Amino acid sequence: MSTNEKLSLLVCGGAGYIGSHMARMIAEAGHQVTVFDNLSTGHSEALKWGRFIKGDLRNPEDIERAFDGSSYDAVFHFSALIVVSESVEKPFDYYDNNVTGTMNLLQAMRRHSVNSFVFSSTAAVYGDPVMDMISEEHPLAPLNPYGRSKLFIEQILQDYATAYGLNSVRFRYFNAAGAHPDGTIGEAHNPETHLIPNILLSSIDQGRRLKIFGQDYPTPDGTCVRDYIHIQDLCSAHLAAVDYMSRNNGTHCFNLGNGQGFSILEVIDAASEVIGRKIQYDFEPARAGDSPRLVADSSRALKELGWKPAYADLREIIETAYRWHKSPAY
Ligand code: UFG
């Protein structure tokens, strides 16, 4: 199996932010794509590529409909609840969706002998950083149920590789950002909790002031530092993972980030330059479960996957997001 051949790929969560960009990239690379999504947080307007099956991973019968009569070369799994603070308040929802849902999906894969899985994990599995640049060897100590839900699945994938020979790539995303450069699909969460969209929305809707959560973190300016990686770069790594699994059995994990940390105030400055206007903000208490600094050492993905991010400049990433947010299609 290689991306030089025409593949059939299942994208769970393909109506969401990362999943819709992935479905598009798969289709544009000439492969066949099937999207499975319950549309709880995804958007039907983003379903422009491939076949769509509406269903919920918590219902095994729904998943069976996606597998029945189809044969997939690999499964990409983007369906998850992702809001750190919400996971602290609603742990059942997070474990039910993110853990039980994934277990059901893996069962269906076993039943239908689909043996390649790309899992969206997160930098939140690391918790408080004990090194400046976080490599995959960093201790795993998630600070919240969201991070734990992802780590549990990572551990399950290790057991499945040993017992059932399931091949998988686990991607630990740092902060996904930006939108497709043509501005027709982008990031649209409701409510929006992510920094870059909230900065842009506050500049577009002048009545909406940006809140900065926490100003006393142990960072140079007291605000949290993150590593922003463009959505198209995240997606290109997933296609590389399919090739990688055809050459390497077992389970493998890779960080996906740019390797550059930006504080919230630095992101605001970069966004002001892109927009050509100052951003008004207020400081609020820190959010529960936030880590002060998450910056990736992605050298393993660069070397082993032959992955090369195309968007290294934060301003360029914000520009693509701004293009989308000025006139979002949904
Ligand atoms: N922030 C604000 N104001 C906002 C939104 C965010 O100050 O309106 C702050 C947050 O407190 C945090 C930083 O900006 O310090 C980045 O916040 P995001 O919500 O954009 O991203 P997170 O780093 O919290 O979370 C993202 C993904 C998670 C993932 C995590 C791992 O959304 O799924 O990265 O790094 F777990």
Structure tokens at 249: 């059995």
Using one digit for the tens of pLDDT, what is the confidence trace for 104-153? 999 999 999 999 999 999 999 999 899 999 999 999 999 899 999 999 99
pLDDT, residue 309, reads 97
The length of the chain in residues reads 330
Ligand 1 touching residue 253 (CB < 6 A): no
Mean pLDDT over 280-308 rounds to 95
> Residue 205 has what pLDDT?
86
Ligand 1 near 124 CB (within 6 A) = yes
* Model pTM above 0.95: yes
- Tell me, what's the pLDDT at 30? 97
Quick one: pLDDT at residue 194? 95
Is the CB of residue 189 less than 8 Å from the CB of residue 86? no
pLDDT-derived band at 289, boundaries 50, 70, 90 = confident
For residue 281, the tally of other CB atoms under 10 A from its CB is: 16
Active site (annotated) includes residue 72:
no
Q: How far is CA 56 from CA 14, 28, 41, 68, 293, in A?
A: 12, 26, 12, 15, 34
Check if 82 has its Cβ closer than 6 Å to any atom of ligand 1.
yes
Residue bearing the CA closest to ligand 1, atom 28 = 82
**Residue from 120, 126, 195 to probe ligand 1 pocket by mutation (most atoms less than 8 Å from CB):** 195
Looking at the CA of residue 212, tell me the nearest atom of ligand 1. 7
What is the per-residue pLDDT for 31? 98
Q: Which of 94, 95, 126, 146 is catalytic?
A: 146
pLDDT, tens digit (0-9, with 9 covering 90-100), for 218-263: 999 999 999 999 999 999 999 999 999 999 999 999 999 999 999 9
Q: What is the mean pLDDT of residues 205-228?
A: 95
pLDDT at 296: 98
Phi and psi based region of residue 301 (left: phi greater than 0; alpha: psi -120 to 50; beta: remaining): alpha
Mean pLDDT of 159-188: 97
| CB distance 216 to 210 below 8 Å | no
How high is the pLDDT of residue 85? Answer: 85
Give the rounded distance of the alpha carbon of 170 from its chain centre: 11
Cβ proximity of 15 and 31 under 8 Å: no
Please, what's the b/e burial string for 198-212 (b: 16 or more CB within 10 A of its CB; e: otherwise)?
A: bbbebbeeeeeebeb
Is residue 294 in contact with ligand 1, taking CB distance under 6 Å? yes
Instruction: Report yes or no: 257 and 229 within 8 Å, Cβ to Cβ.
Output: yes
